[in-house]
Amino acid sequence: MPIKIHGMRKTVIAAAAVLVVVVIAAVLLVRGRPDEPAAAPPPAPKTTTVRKGDLTNTRVLQGDLGFGTARPVKGGTGTVTKLPAVGQVTELGKELYRVDDQPVVVFIGATPLFRPLDAPGLKGSDVAVLIENLAALGYQVGTRPRDPSKAELTPAVVDALKRWQKAQGAEQTGVLQPGRVLVVDRPMRVQSVKAQLGVPAAEELFEITPTTRLITLQVPASELGAVKASMPVTIVRPDTREVPGKVSSVTNTPAAENGGGPRVSVVITPDNPADVADLDIAPVRLKFTTESRTGVLTVPLAALVALKEGGYAVQLPSGALKAVQTGLYSQDKVEISGDGITDGLEVVTAE
């Protein structure tokens, strides 16, 4: 049977033509596509710089600004006929209140009058207080011994006492009763008045405090840390202004009756009293520097790399690690040292 060559050849040629068209279309399609972008390079690591500086750690505690602990004042015999005003400041030789309509005057000294000074020849520290105050007020009292216990009530002192009594408008007896003067060791202010007119003078009449403003606080002994006398303190006023001060005293106090542990009483005075002169009684915050380093190399905490074998390192931009020893940690910074660690060294940080 004869084979039809012509028909088969036409079929092959047609198939080949279709294949060429498909290939050409595919080539054109590929050529028409945009080039795929090259892979982006990895982002550069964030870096920071090793810097030389100072580090400090602080502790903030709450305190009370005021005039210190108040102490009560009681009079002697008689009836109270005049009381001082709250805030009144004592003045040497000036009347503070009155008993039986007689002035009670302020003396400065270390020994309160504990007996009537009524007989020439009496000796003692209370006599020394009388002599020193009369002399300070401008009266002639004769020779004053250096030892207060040997101070004597001489005729010259009695004469000076009479002249002072005359100036006060009091009877010139030359005798001084304990209830006619209030002896304080320094200028004081009246914190509060407790009594009313007409009460017996032997009752608690008013409270006095020192005139110097200071800050007091009580904290558990276990929480105080390294606070000690003469330590500098930053006082943060209620208006957030910061002023310098110092620890005046640190005193241990017994454990509280309710089972609390021992506590520590701390007294702080401003370096410049004028910094708090506009405040009366107010809460303040106190910043204590508990640790400090000066002139050390520091980096942010985020620059430290924890090593598997223990310890820490910093990473250079090249990827190399340098082992470091850490020192003081302060907020977001840390002290470091080690071979090749220098001021200005650039290192990688996580932030």
Predicted confidence (pLDDT) per residue in 119-178, tens digit:
999 999 999 999 999 999 999 999 998 999 999 999 999 999 999 999 988 889 999 999
Beta bridge partner(s), residue 335: 298
Nearest to 161 by CA among 137, 183, 143: 137
Mean pLDDT, range 299-313, rounded to an integer: 94
Q: Is the pLDDT of residue 12 over 50?
A: no
Mean pLDDT, range 329-334, rounded to an integer: 92
Mean pLDDT, range 304-316, rounded to an integer: 94
Provide the pairing of β-strand 102-108 with 181-184: parallel
257 — pLDDT class (breaks 50, 70, 90): low
Phi and psi for 182 in degrees, rounded to 5?
-110, 115
Q: Which amino acid type is present at position 198?
A: G
Give the residue, 12 or 210, on which the prediction is more confident.
210
**CA-to-CA distance for 60 and 242, rounded, in angstroms?**
13
Q: Is the pLDDT of residue 13 over 50?
A: no
User: Tens digit of pLDDT for each residue in 104-124?
Assistant: 999 999 999 999 999 999 999
2.60.40.10, 3.30.720.110, 2.40.30.170, 2.30.110.10: which CATH number matches 59-67+212-291? 2.40.30.170
Assigned token pair, 143: 């020779």
* Biggest alpha carbon–alpha carbon distance for the chain: 175
Assigned token pair, 112: 């309160």
- Computed over every residue of the chain, the mean pLDDT equals 88
15 — pLDDT class (breaks 50, 70, 90): very low
Grouping H, G, I as helix, E, B as strand and the rest as coil, residue 347 is: strand
Q: Which residues 6+ apart lie within 8 Å of 304 measured at CB?
A: 312, 313, 314, 324, 326, 334, 336
Q: Is the pLDDT of residue 22 over 60?
A: no
**Block residue for tokens 């609390």:** 260
User: Tens digit of pLDDT for each residue in 185-205?
Assistant: 999 999 999 999 999 999 999
Length of the chain: 351
3 — pLDDT class (breaks 50, 70, 90): very low
39 — pLDDT class (breaks 50, 70, 90): low
> 231 near 245, Cβ under 8 Å?
no
Say which DSSP state 217 is in. Answer: E
Q: Is the pLDDT of residue 36 over 70?
A: no
Say which DSSP state 176 is in. Answer: B
Q: Which residues 6+ apart lie within 8 Å of 317 measured at CB?
A: 45, 47, 346, 347, 348
Give the residue, 227 or 312, on which the prediction is more confident.
312
> 14 near 318, Cβ under 8 Å?
no
Global confidence as pTM: 0.65
Q: Domain 47-55+293-348, what architecture?
A: Beta Barrel (2.40)
Give the residue, 45 or 41, on which the prediction is more confident.
45
Confidence at residue 33, expressed as pLDDT on a 0 to 100 scale:
56
Grouping H, G, I as helix, E, B as strand and the rest as coil, residue 3 is: coil
**CA-to-CA distance for 308 and 77, rounded, in angstroms?**
83
End-to-end CA distance of the chain: 89
Alpha-helical runs (H) found in 76-138: 125-136
